[in-house]
Amino acid sequence: IISLIINKREFGLQLSIDDVVKIASGGALSFQVTLIDVNNNSVPIIGADVYIIIKDVRYNFMDNGDGNYSIHIGAIANTFFAPETIVASLYIEKANFTTESLSITAVVAIDEIFPGIPTFYFLLILFTILSFTGS
């Protein structure tokens, strides 16, 4: 009897963004994932299934054919009253490799009419002043 255990290989991966990324209200999330086979002279990995799940919606990465996978998601969230924090899950799958998953946190900033002055609070103060001067 011959017993054979096949160990799945590990991905070598590099993200073009940090684990926490700041985005303007209504802004897009765009980044790139580079995959290499660390056990095979750092050969680029093509044909992997790379996707991200944001708010229960799956977005697939585009395989550029050179080990790079890119994505562009327009307008993740439009914030007006307060900043919003969104946690996304990134998954990388390929036959004979272990499945990788990691979290990316996107902090969507509140709209600002002037640097440091959120639009909502500016309008709130403006309408308060106008209501007192008008009465």
pLDDT tens digits along 79-96 = 777 788 889 999 999 988
Q: In total, how many domains does the chain have?
A: 1
Residue 6 lies in a domain: no
104 lies in a domain?
yes
Lowest mean pLDDT among 7-11, 63-67, 88-92, 112-116: 112-116
Residue 20 neighbours by CB distance under 10 Å: 11
**In this structure, are residues 75 and 57 in contact, taking their beta carbons and an 8 Å threshold?**
no
CATH, residue 30:
2.60.40.10
Residue found by looking up tokens 């990388």 in the block: 92
Residue 132 parent element (H or E): helix 119-134
pLDDT attached to residue 69: 95
Q: Is the dihedral of CA 62, 33, 35, 102 positive or negative?
A: negative
What's the rounded Cα separation, in Å, for the pair 82 and 110? Answer: 6
Q: Residue 55: which domain range?
A: 11-134
Query: pLDDT per residue over 21-73, tens digit each?
Result: 888 877 888 899 999 998 888 899 999 999 999 989 999 999 999 999 999 98
**Is 4 contained in some domain?**
no
CA distances for 115 relative to 24, 96, 110, 120, 128, angstroms: 12, 50, 11, 13, 21
Is 31 a domain residue?
yes
The answer to whether residue 119 sits within a structural domain is: yes
